[in-house]
Amino acid sequence: MGGLRLLLTLVLLLIQQTIAQNQEHKCAIEEHDHSTRIRKHQDLPETKFKLFEEGNDEDLCQIQTLQPETLEKCSFNASFPLIIIVHGWSVDGMLEDWIWKMASAFKSQERHFNIIIADWLSSAQVHYPIAVQNTRLIGLEIAEFLEWLESTVQFPRSKVHLIGYSLGAHVSGFAGSYIRGPNKIGRITGLDPAGPLFEGMSSTDRLSPDDANFVDAIHTFTQQHMGLSVGINQPVAHFDFYPNGGHFQPGCHIRHLIANIGIHGIRETVKCAHERSVHLFIDSLLNDDKQSMAYWCKDINTFDKGVCLSCRKNRCNTLGYNIKKRAMKRGRKLYLKTRSHMPYKVYHYQFKIHFINQTEEKLLEPTFTVSLTGTKEEVENVPFTPVDGIKGNKTYSFLITLDTDIGDLMMIKFKWEGIDVWANMWDTFQTIMPWTSEANRPGLLVKSIRVKSGETQEQMTFCSENVDNIKLLPAQEKTYVRCKNNASKQGRKTRMR
């Protein structure tokens, strides 16, 4: 973790230094009156609206506001929904590769879309604080563009979906807030909305649920250091998704990159976690049969206990394009685990186990593995460790995730990993006192295991295959099968909180 702290310290020091150096360049941005559209800057940065066509990445057709002939020239189809992709802060002045991947993913769908890339590079390739100021102005230009479409070809704003990455997420929010009239933009998706100069701000100064009929956000790099984070941590949408807690993402490991690539590795590590939000969204388009499910929960620590896998009363939702669009009065924070690569989907299970620790007051800190046999697949040796150890007579809850769909779970092999250091000592003890037996050795009693599947919502109870021997000792493995009175999917289900 030392290398990780170094990474974020360097990045955030750079941001803070940039902010300090450019204070004198800040100019006050007047409140925008929607009836008169008064602007302080006469040289308003120009946004280029480029229509994407598959196979023509380099020479995109530009649609220009107030020039209706460009709509026909670029083959804009008013009967198709409109997707506008909004990039973020730029270092090199180039459109990033993910933009073409996302546009192509939309084009691969059975539905037809108008895909427009909102190119604001001239205003994004500046010092970060200046780019932050420009987000309002670019948002205003997008709003004017959408109002012009509505008046020119009667294109309804409800068919508009803005997808903004990093600073582009707040650009999209401002665009939604600047739209005039009672009707809002249909949907805004924020992909790891930028944190610096937005964290802690009011809803009028950042992306918020008020900016569209439906707003969703995916947070992938929100770790707070020195009061700043690359991605915003606070909720900004109707549904805010926090994959893997919204911090560092699987596969974006700092220590390996520092060892091999140096400063370039640091930059790529930041980019990997921040941009993971983009690729999770693209994944939802390309892998329709592997949609990632997320669950409403208080925080990631609670989620890691597996107690939040409920879908009752809109407590779960699908991450990405195929989300169920429900504009809640109060936003919800949803958590999920993912893999390190596409397809990112994993299958979430809650394991609820009642342990009786026979070692009396001694706190045990064991590591367990489970091997699971389902109707489709078998997965072996999945590790998990109780965070707080095991003591006394208590029920513990764990979250276990699988990369594979094993089907209906039928059998569990539960093993206490480690070496039984007491085995030889116990053999010697039995030699001296032959009337003793292993049954007298203190261990962990595990009579049954309750399991809940997040994806199917099925709840099952598994009983020890050997009901006469439910004691588990180090290095031992026990087998558990569905209890005879276990409810089926259609029947009565065991209640798990």
Q: Is 211 annotated as a binding residue?
A: yes
* Average pLDDT estimate for 69-95: 95
In angstroms, what CA-CA distances link 466 with 312, 457, 472?
35, 28, 12
User: What are the helix (H) ranges across 22-125?
Assistant: 69-73, 97-107, 121-124
What confidence score (pLDDT) does residue 24 get?
A: 39
Give 184-223 as a DSSP string. PEEEEEEES-B-TTTTT--GGGS--GGGEEEEEEE-----
Lowest mean pLDDT among 194-203, 315-324, 460-469: 460-469
Structure tokens at 292: 């990632």
173 φ/ψ angles, rounded to the nearest 5 degrees? -65, -45
- The model carries a pTM of 0.87
Nearest Cα neighbor of 410 from 460, 362, 374, 438 is: 374
pLDDT in tens, 344-393: 999 999 999 999 887 766 778 889 999 999 999 999 999 988 877 888 78
Please list, in sequence order, all residues whose beta carbon lies within 8 angstroms of the beta carbon of residue 399, skipping any fewer than 6 positions away: 303, 304, 305, 306, 337, 348, 349, 350, 351
Lowest mean pLDDT among 217-231, 333-347, 445-459: 217-231
275 and 372 inside one domain = no
444 and 415 inside one domain = yes
Query: Are 141 and 119 spatial neighbours (Cβ–Cβ below 8 Å)?
Result: no
419 and 374 inside one domain = yes
**463 within domain boundaries:** yes
Structure tokens at 253: 């490991």
CATH number reported for the structural domain that contains residue 453 in this entry: 2.60.60.20
Nearest Cα neighbor of 61 from 103, 72, 99, 90 is: 72
Q: Is 119 annotated as a binding residue?
A: no
Q: Residue 324 CB: number of other CB atoms within 10 A?
A: 10
283 and 186 inside one domain = yes
What confidence score (pLDDT) does residue 56 get?
A: 66
| Dist CA 184 CA 200 (whole Å) | 25
Sorting pLDDT into bands at 50, 70 and 90, what band is 225?
Answer: low
* Average pLDDT estimate for 68-79: 96
**185 within domain boundaries:** yes
Lowest mean pLDDT among 45-59, 71-85, 207-221, 282-296: 45-59
What confidence score (pLDDT) does residue 82 get?
A: 98
CATH number reported for the structural domain that contains residue 159 in this entry: 3.40.50.1820
pLDDT at 161 over 80: yes
Q: For a pLDDT cut of 70, what percent of the chain falls above it?
A: 79
What confidence score (pLDDT) does residue 426 get?
A: 43
Residue 166: active-site member: yes
243 and 127 inside one domain = yes
**341 within domain boundaries:** no
**What is the number of domains present in the chain?**
2
pLDDT in tens, 177-203: 999 998 999 999 999 999 999 999 999
332 and 375 inside one domain = no
pLDDT at 38 over 50: no
pLDDT, greater one: 376 or 13: 376
Nearest Cα neighbor of 482 from 458, 460, 456 is: 460
| Dist CA 349 CA 307 (whole Å) | 10
For 289, the 3-state DSSP assignment is coil
Please list, in sequence order, all residues whose beta carbon lies within 8 angstroms of the beta carbon of residue 341, skipping any fewer than 6 positions away: 251
Mean pLDDT of the chain: 84
297 and 249 inside one domain = yes
Sorting pLDDT into bands at 50, 70 and 90, what band is 270?
Answer: confident
Number of H helices, E strands in the chain: 10, 21
**436 within domain boundaries:** yes
pLDDT in tens, 227-255: 667 999 999 999 999 999 998 899 987 65
Residue 192: active-site member: yes
Q: For 424-448, what is the HEC assignment? A: HHHHHHHHHCCCCCHHHCCCEECCE
**488 within domain boundaries:** no
**322 within domain boundaries:** yes
250 and 152 inside one domain = yes
Query: Are 212 and 189 spatial neighbours (Cβ–Cβ below 8 Å)?
Result: no
pLDDT, greater one: 334 or 465: 334
pLDDT at 399 over 90: yes
The one catalytic residue among 166, 177, 229, 284: 166
What confidence score (pLDDT) does residue 468 get?
A: 81
Picking from 314, 336, 358, the residue at the C-terminal end of a domain is 336
**494 within domain boundaries:** no
The one catalytic residue among 170, 238, 274, 348: 274
Omega cis (within 30) before 343:
yes
Residue 274: active-site member: yes
Please list, in sequence order, all residues whose beta carbon lies within 8 angstroms of the beta carbon of residue 391, skipping any fewer than 6 positions away: 357, 361, 362, 363, 364
The one catalytic residue among 119, 192, 216, 283: 192
| Dist CA 451 CA 306 (whole Å) | 10
391 and 364 inside one domain = yes
* Average pLDDT estimate for 401-423: 85
Q: For a pLDDT cut of 90, what percent of the chain falls above it?
A: 64
Q: Which residue type does 137 have?
A: L
181 and 32 inside one domain = yes
**391 within domain boundaries:** yes
327 and 359 inside one domain = no
What confidence score (pLDDT) does residue 393 get?
A: 85
The size of the chain, in residues, is: 497
308 and 375 inside one domain = no
Picking from 315, 336, 357, the residue at the C-terminal end of a domain is 336
Domain holding 47, by residue range, is: 2-336
Sorting pLDDT into bands at 50, 70 and 90, what band is 424?
Answer: very low
